[in-house]
Amino acid sequence: MEYLINLLLLFFAFSFIGWCIEVTLKYRQFHRFINRGFLTGPWLPIYGFGAVLITVSVQGIAGLESSIGTTFVISFYVCGIVEYLASYFLEKRYHARWWDYSQKPMNLKGRVWIGNLILFGLGGIAIIELANPIFYDLFSRISLMTRSIIAGLLSCVFITDYISSQFIMKMVKAGVENSEADNTEEINKEILLLFSDKSYFYRRFADAYPDVIYRTEKIKAHMEEVRIETERLRAEAEVRLSEMNERLAESREQFAATVDPVGTAKNKMISKQESLIELLYDEESATDEMKGLVEEIAECKSIIEKRRIGGNFLWEH
């Protein structure tokens, strides 16, 4: 019983810490206070849930192996799975993506990316090595009865917050499903208009996710059309580029033959002369004068070959 009470208190503690982190990050981005989160209260359950899973997982293998490296790996995968599943199910249920990492390197369908996963791993180490010892020491100073009452009160407030937030989310879902817009910006404006005459609790939700991406069937169909058209244009561009390269190669050959027909004839003549010399020349019976002529011809051939290679290099570059 005490173990579960402590885990529940850890859940609320890290949910609050996560909320503080998100509020700080969004304040730096938008320069104003934004009450982040699916719920109205100062907590983000995904942080608390991830911290509890890390704690339970690390404690579960403590008898087998316990190291900072193991904690990092467990946190890396546990939090990555939690974030991916949370993004997937929220999008499926409410037709909206609350975070999108599609532009980040090494991302998985825009739901998780390597930067966050590394931070999760480091955060898990901080939880196990720094935060948990402090919290457990604090819990040990409070009687079990008091801890149970605190956990019970927080649970009641949390459940009430969750139920009220569900009503707001149902309105968001209905607004998104009934929208005829084919882009996120227009849907976002409709949601803001929908909440404009509502209470703070409704307006707070629209304000909490200024960068939300809505994914209705109409938007998905439009995105698929764009993807298909992009692939078609890319394929056409590759074909045209290949044709241009072939035509350029043909033009180069024709140009060379047209501009320097004399040079081509000279090369053929030199080649025939070399063949004739090879047939008539005998190394054993050749005089010194004949050998000298052969050496001079070889030197001239070498010079011509070097110039030909240099000319081809300049032509190609």
**Are residue 153 and residue 31 in the same domain, yes or no?**
yes
**Are residue 26 and residue 126 in the same domain, yes or no?**
yes
**Are residue 117 and residue 243 in the same domain, yes or no?**
no
**Are residue 56 and residue 137 in the same domain, yes or no?**
yes
C-alpha distances (whole Å) from 40 to each of 43, 67, 194 are 8, 37, 18
**Are residue 243 and residue 176 in the same domain, yes or no?**
no
Structure tokens at 202: 């409704």
Domain endpoint, select from 182, 197, 215: 215
Q: What is the domain range of residue 280? A: 261-317
What's the pLDDT at 92?
81
**Are residue 7 and residue 57 in the same domain, yes or no?**
yes
**Are residue 133 and residue 18 in the same domain, yes or no?**
yes
CB atoms within 10 A of CB 112: 24
Burial string for 34-64 (b: 16+ CB within 10 Å, else e) reads bbbbbbbbebbbbbbbbbbbbbebbeeeeee
**Are residue 44 and residue 162 in the same domain, yes or no?**
yes
**Are residue 161 and residue 201 in the same domain, yes or no?**
yes
Structure tokens at 189: 């404006």
What's the pLDDT at 287?
72
**Are residue 210 and residue 268 in the same domain, yes or no?**
no
**β-pairing, 112-113 with 107-108?**
antiparallel
Domain endpoint, select from 148, 182, 215: 215
Half-sphere exposure of 33 (CA within 13 A, CB side): 4
The tens digit of pLDDT for each residue in 246-305 reads 888 877 767 666 655 555 666 666 676 677 676 666 667 667 777 777 777 777 777 777
What's the pLDDT at 125?
94
**Are residue 20 and residue 50 in the same domain, yes or no?**
yes
**Are residue 271 and residue 311 in the same domain, yes or no?**
yes
Hey, what's the torsion of the CAs at 149, 153, 154, 158, to 10 degrees?
A: 150
Domain total in the chain: 3
Domain endpoint, select from 215, 247, 276: 215
Mean pLDDT, the chain, rounded, equals 77
pTM: 0.60
| List of the chain residues with pLDDT < 50 | 181-188, 190-191, 313-315
